[in-house]
Structure 1
C-alpha cells in the first residue's frame, strides 16, 4: 500500500476520533470553524473564477447553517436570536451563490468569525476546554 494512502487513512481516523470524542460545545465550534474554512475557499474560488468550486463550498456552509438551525432548542429565548442570525446568513449565502458576490462572502465570513469568537468566550466562561482556539 502506498505511503500516501496510509497517511490519508491515518489522518481520516484522527479526524473521526476528534469528532467522536468532542462534546456538544466542541462540535459546535468545529462547525463554525468548518463554515469559515469553506467560506474562505469559496471566496478564493470566486476570485479565481472557479464557479463550481465556489458553489460547492457555499453549499457546504449552507448545510452547516441548516444543521445549526435545526439543532436549536427553542425553549430558550437566546435560541430565537440564533435563529434570526442563522436565517439571515442562510439568505445571504443563497444570494452570494447566485451572484458569486465576494462582498457577501466577506460579510458572512465576518459574521461567522464574530459568532465563533463569542462561542469560544461562552465555552471559556463555562470552563469548557477550547482546543485549537
Structure 2
C-alpha cells in the first residue's frame, strides 16, 4: 500500500510482509459501503497496503493521523494500483489522486487533513466520490 514518507525503515517493510490483522470498520460513500482496515499507528501507516497482491473492489485502508497536516503518500513496495482520497475531519473529500504501483512519486493532500482512504484505483471515480463528497461511518459518524 502506499505509505507515509518515513526516514526510518519498519521491520515489516524489510521483511516484505503484508499486514492484514488491523482493526476494521465500515465507511459509507453515498449508498456504497467500503470495508476498511484502520492504520492508526506510525508503524501501521508506514506499512499500509505494501506487499499486498489483492484488494477487493469494496475494500481499502483508512489512515488516521494524530493531527491535520499536509499528508504525502508513495507506492514503494505496493503491488496494486490505488486511489488515495484525502479527507477532512468532517468526512469531506478534499482531493483524490491515482497512484501507480512500485513508484516513489509523492502524492499529497492539497490542504492539511487527518484522514487518507486508499482503495483500488478507479473505485472512487466509478462511484462518483471526489472532492466535496462526504464519507460517513467510522470516525466520520453518520449522515
Place the TM-score, normalised by the shorter chain, in its bin: under 0.3
Structure showing greater radius of gyration is 1
Scaled by the length of structure 2, what TM-score is found?
A: 0.26
Scaled by the length of structure 1, what TM-score is found?
A: 0.27
